[in-house]
Amino acid sequence: MELAEIGLVGLGVMGSNLALNIAEHGHRIAVWNRELPRLPEFIRDAGDLAQHIIPTETIEQLIAAIKPPRAVILMIPAGAAVDEQIGILKPLLGEGGLIIDAGNSDFRDTVRRVKELEGSGVTLVGMGVSGGEEGARHGPSMMAGGERSAFARIERIIMDIAARTKDGEPCAAWLGPDGAGHFVKTIHNGIEYADMQMIAEIYGAFRDGAGLKPAETAEIFKDWNTRELDSYLIEITARVLSAVDKETEKPIVDIILDRAGQKGTGLWSAVEAERLGRPASVIEAAVGARVLSSLKDEREAAEKAYGLGKPEAGAFTKNDAQLLEHALLAGKVVAYAQGFAVLAMASRMFDWNLPLPTVARIWRAGCIIRSQFLGTIAAAFEGPKVDNLLMTPAFIDIMKRSHGALREVVARAAQAGLPMPALSSALAYFDSYRQGRGTTDLIQAQRDFFGAHGFERIDQPGAHHGIWGISEMPATPTPGEKA
């Protein structure tokens, strides 16, 4: 029997589709799944592609079916399951063995696992895979980290199965050592959270502020998808809002419970941003909004206690479509600027040397946040080095012509009681970022007052303290004495 070029563990939705993608491109692949009944079902569904697939019933059979030096992809849940599987594979793979963790692992776990495998003869590549079920089957965006030479061994397969842009460029790349690939995927997911939340807030402006039906709003999103907001998320938003439930014949969005789920990567991205000292407030707002959405009973009780705002006063109308379009564009710029600023800081902190133009390019197809907008980002990072996209000529131009719309939309929404946590955060970040002298001078004085933390002066170098003497403090009345 001809041996496989690569193996795969885990035939869930993503694993099955990735295996079929590999087989479809003519690469022989051996597969194994912990639950054996899944194997014959998978082979049956594979149809003609089964000729390129070797099903195996034990992990030992899987290893024996792969050409040495052996490479195995893990498509299993992140966390303890990955550690367990690495422990099983390590003694079986032999010298030169390669494990590709293609799940949504925490990059810190990937860094740890790379170190733990040093000197064992087995190498780990941590690879983020974006695009969901469809992407895995027909072309995902893939972000790899680990030893460059290790990625080179599987590069031909990865490039063959990757999504491609309109100009034929594969949306996959090696991005740096150890956890670089999984970190980039984490920030990708954080930006995805932010993008989705802002779109939902704009939908709320149409639904609750203008009284539009889903089908009417769908036509507006469809129109937006022909201009600067052209993206996968805008495209599917139009499709979702157009869909009708077969059972009730109502717009399907109207019968869906308003309680969002999450798998943790959005939270990770917000936490890592704070650790790195690069705020990602739009992502944080999006994560918070999902958490708040889960408190359905509490929200319903609060509505009874406080009532709703006054959107019926006409906060928005259908004629505000262009205003809302520009507001969403401005919010999107800020969210991506925050995400890429986090990537830039992580690159310096972890010595990854992340190629930011490449990151933007490989997100242009296959992944959930794919959009024409990313081409502009790639070009911006190929110019003079900057710390923040907001300081590049292309994005200065966009923000100058769109931040006014964001300001008006957020203000109107606040007056009407329409929640816009992500768009409000985007506006606050933008205004804070462009304020040369902020208000933290007062905070520094307060910190020095109660904790002697010191502060810097604008006219002298070094650390300084204020003279917060008793004579300069307001008198504190003794008990029983009038102030």
CB under 8 Å, gap of 24 or more: what pairs does 382-386 form? 382/357
The mean per-residue pLDDT over the stretch 274-279 comes to 96
| pLDDT value of residue 261 | 78
Looking at domain 186-433, what is its CATH homologous superfamily?
A: N-(1-d-carboxylethyl)-l-norvaline Dehydrogenase; domain 2 (1.10.1040.10)
At 352, is the secondary structure helix, strand, or coil?
coil
Q: Is the pLDDT of residue 312 over 60?
A: no
Q: CATH assignment of 6-178, given 3.40.50.300, 3.40.50.1820, 3.40.960.10, 3.40.50.720?
A: 3.40.50.720
| pLDDT value of residue 246 | 95
Distance CA 328, CA 331 (A): 5
| pLDDT value of residue 263 | 76
Write down the residue that tokens 């999902």 correspond to: 290
* Residue 17, number of CB atoms within 10 A of its CB: 21
| pLDDT value of residue 241 | 98
142 DSSP β-pair partners: 129, 172
| pTM of the predicted protein model | 0.93
Residue 37 is classified by DSSP as T
pLDDT level of residue 479 (50, 70, 90 thresholds): low
Average pLDDT, the chain: 94
pLDDT level of residue 311 (50, 70, 90 thresholds): low
- CATH 1.20.5.320 residue ranges for the chain: 440-472
Write down the residue that tokens 């957020």 correspond to: 410
pLDDT digits (tens, 9 = 90+) for 426-462: 999 999 999 999 999 999 999 999 999 999 999 999 9
Distance CA 90, CA 95 (A): 9
- CATH 1.10.1040.10 residue ranges for the chain: 186-433
Q: Which of 176, 133, 142, 134 is nearest to 160 (CA)?
A: 142
pLDDT digits (tens, 9 = 90+) for 151-177: 999 999 999 999 999 999 999 999 999
Q: Is the dihedral of CA 430, 201, 196, 264 positive or negative?
A: positive
- CATH 3.40.50.720 residue ranges for the chain: 6-178
Question: Where would I find the beta strands (DSSP E) of 363-472?
Answer: 455-456, 463-464
Q: Is the pLDDT of residue 228 over 80?
A: yes
Q: Is the pLDDT of residue 21 over 70?
A: yes
The mean per-residue pLDDT over the stretch 193-213 comes to 96
Q: Please give the C-alpha separations between residue 437 and each of 320, 334, 337, 432, 456, in angstroms, as whole numbers.
A: 34, 20, 21, 9, 14
Assigned CATH for 440-472: 1.20.5.320
| pLDDT value of residue 483 | 46
Residue 464 is classified by DSSP as E
At 4, is the secondary structure helix, strand, or coil?
strand
Residues belonging to the active site: 185, 192
The mean per-residue pLDDT over the stretch 313-317 comes to 82
Q: Is the pLDDT of residue 424 over 50?
A: yes
Lay out the sheet containing 172-176: strands in order across: 53-55, 29-32, 6-9, 71-74, 97-101, 122-130, 141-145, 172-176
Containing 30, the helix (H) or strand (E) segment is strand 29-32
The mean per-residue pLDDT over the stretch 49-65 comes to 97
Q: Which of 234, 179, 149 is nearest to 350 (CA)?
A: 179
pLDDT digits (tens, 9 = 90+) for 24-38: 999 999 999 999 899
Q: Is the pLDDT of residue 217 over 60?
A: yes
The mean per-residue pLDDT over the stretch 272-294 comes to 96
Tokens read off for 448? 């020095």
Distance CA 176, CA 348 (A): 12
| pLDDT value of residue 279 | 94
| pLDDT value of residue 480 | 61
